[in-house]
């Protein structure tokens, strides 16, 4: 994989770095690019579906929109704190988990991350396949899914620079396309009536909060992958706010439309459930305008699906190299991993599409259960225990300061999952505390707080963090001087 470097003439190259540290002389870009990436990645059809779910499962449009906003604001704060680690560390997000869980211990959450990527890639492929089918009129959505998978492989293989380029394209396309749909909605329908019959129900309100919070929180395991090329001295607050505002504005825009679309399609959202993509095409007015909307859907989904493929590839590689001890891989390895990942996601998409809506709701809420504790441990350790100081060479050394397994993190992680079970409101299981709360699911909040409370005092007492940042000897950031040995 060739380095994504500045050529001096504005040219771009195919990325060659993967899980290895990005030296300072290869850093580039600005926080503004984080805004367009995350804005564009959230101005897409799956975010619309996520917002629609809040209404389809019982909430009135107004309270659904308010709940979705609260969840986006809360979840995005956690997401953006992960993003801010990228410039400082110059590493993919999940490699840094080795500092908390140990080199081999980190493989446990990594496996769950790969499942997450597959789930999002598959559910996104269902909707993108519908859009491609509408454009090409093949009559077979599975063909559209395969075509979309091939497009994803192409962009993900090119790497970091091209992913950010897709983010900028998706931003423009999303503003124009979804802006037009919003105008059509407000000029063709009585939106005031949709918002006027607002009956507050606490359980469905919390469901809306959980849906959007879960949407944001599940970006955590890979958000730093797309900020790691920023110069190391990029202020934390700039990276944080660029990602935060991009993801909140993009998500809330899409989810608000979704809540209104689902309300418009009631009772029981049958028109929306019968075909989300076709519903948007019909709302646009049909004809050539509908084809443009379908293209906007494909562009948005291509952006975020590329994130899934790129992050999935590096997560799998991080897991494998924990045992092989390699820090770099050959060019063909990226292609093989990406093809395998996307191929499997397309198969899942074809099989799962008939029950897409119900499966997606349960999938998002289930992911909260396993990723909230990981996120809590990672952020508490990085910002409060190690205070943004990491021994980067030791992240690749089984005999280094972080060791093979970190019992403190693993036990806190397990406890953070288990403590959520009584508060779950899932299709397969409803916890006893959930019933006392009238069906409201607050498991994600319980997991976040309890995991942090358990992990912080134990990790503080047994911390192995260095007193200052330790970089590889051949990749010292400008102004740091010589690298420290560990």
- Could you report the per-residue pLDDT of 118-149, keeping only the tens digit for each? 888 888 888 888 899 889 888 788 899 999 99
Residue with tokens 């379908």: 294
Class of domain 26-364: mainly alpha
The separation between CA 205 and the C-alpha centre of its own chain, rounded to angstroms, equals: 23
Contacts 24+ apart (CB under 8 A), 288-292: 289/180, 290/134, 291/134, 291/135, 292/177
Please state the domain extents for the chain: 26-364
H helices present in 189-327, as ranges: 191-196, 202-217, 236-264, 270-274, 276-284, 287-324
- 457 burial via Cβ count (<10 Å: 0-12, 13-18, 19+): exposed
The mean pLDDT value for 373-380 works out to 94
pLDDT of residue 199: 78
Angle 146-180-53 from CA coordinates, rounded to 5°: 60
Structure letter (DSSP) for residue 430: B
- 174 pLDDT above the threshold of 50: yes
- 334 pLDDT above the threshold of 90: no
Ramachandran angles phi, psi of 269, nearest 5°: 60, 30
Confidence of residue 411 (pLDDT cuts 50, 70, 90): very high
Say how far apart CA 486 and CA 484 lie, in whole Å.
7
Between residues 327 and 150, the one the model is more confident about: 150
Confidence of residue 255 (pLDDT cuts 50, 70, 90): very high
pLDDT of residue 6: 43
Read off the pTM.
Answer: 0.88
Between residues 69 and 429, the one the model is more confident about: 69
Identity of the highest mean pLDDT range in 4-8, 51-55, 332-336: 51-55
Percent of the chain past pLDDT 70, that is, above it, reads 88
């Amino acid at each position: 994989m060739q380095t994504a470097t500045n050529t001096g003439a504005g040219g771009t190259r195919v990325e060659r770095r993967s899980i290895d540290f990005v030296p300072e002389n290869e850093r580039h870009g600005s926080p503004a690019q984080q805004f367009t990436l995350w804005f564009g990645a959230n101005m897409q059809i799956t975010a619309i579906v996520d917002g629609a779910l809040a209404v389809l499962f019982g909430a009135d449009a107004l309270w659904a929109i308010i709940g979705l906003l609260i969840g986006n604001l809360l979840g995005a704060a956690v997401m953006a704190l992960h993003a801010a680690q990228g410039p400082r560390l110059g590493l993919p997000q999940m490699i840094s988990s080795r500092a908390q869980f140990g080199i081999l211990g980190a493989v446990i959450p990594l496996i769950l991350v790969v499942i997450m990527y597959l789930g999002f890639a598959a559910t996104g492929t269902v909707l993108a396949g519908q859009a491609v089918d509408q454009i090409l009129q093949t009559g077979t959505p599975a063909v559209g899914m395969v075509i979309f998978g091939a497009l994803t492989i192409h962009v993900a293989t090119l790497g970091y620079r091209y992913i950010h380029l897709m983010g900028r394209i998706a931003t423009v396309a999303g503003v124009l396309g979804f802006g037009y749909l919003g105008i059509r909605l407000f000029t063709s329908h009585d939106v005031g009536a949709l918002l006027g019959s607002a009956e507050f129900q606490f359980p469905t309100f919390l469901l809306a909060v959980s849906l959007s919070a879960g949407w944001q929180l599940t970006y955590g395991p890979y958000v730093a992958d797309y900020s790691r090329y920023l110069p190391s001295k990029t202020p934390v607050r700039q990276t944080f706010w660029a990602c935060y505002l991009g993801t909140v504005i993009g998500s809330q825009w899409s989810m608000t439309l979704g809540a209104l679309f689902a309300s418009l399609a009631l009772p029981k959202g049958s028109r929306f459930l019968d075909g989300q993509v076709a519903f948007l095409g019909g709302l646009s007015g049909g004809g050539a305008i509908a084809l443009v909307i379908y293209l906007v859907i494909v562009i948005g989904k291509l952006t975020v699906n590329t994130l899934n493929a790129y992050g999935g590839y590096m997560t799998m590689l991080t897991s494998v190299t924990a045992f092989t001890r390699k820090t770099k891989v050959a060019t063909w390895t990226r292609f093989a991993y990406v093809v395998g990942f996307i191929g499997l996601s397309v198969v899942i998409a074809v099989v799962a599409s008939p029950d897409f809506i119900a499966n997606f709701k349960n999938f998002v809420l289930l992911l909260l259960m396993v990723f909230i504790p990981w996120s809590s441990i990672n952020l508490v350790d990085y910002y409060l225990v190690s205070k943004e100081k990491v021994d980067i060479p030791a992240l690749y050394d089984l005999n280094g300061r972080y060791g093979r397994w970190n019992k403190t993190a693993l036990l806190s992680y397990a406890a953070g999952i288990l403590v959520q079970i009584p508060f779950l409101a899932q299709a397969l299981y409803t916890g006893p505390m959930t019933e006392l709360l009238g069906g409201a699911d607050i498991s994600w909040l319980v997991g976040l707080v309890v995991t942090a409370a358990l992990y912080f005092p134990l990790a503080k007492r047994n911390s192995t963090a260095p007193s200052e940042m330790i970089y590889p000897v051949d990749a010292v950031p400008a102004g740091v001087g010589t690298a420290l040995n560990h």
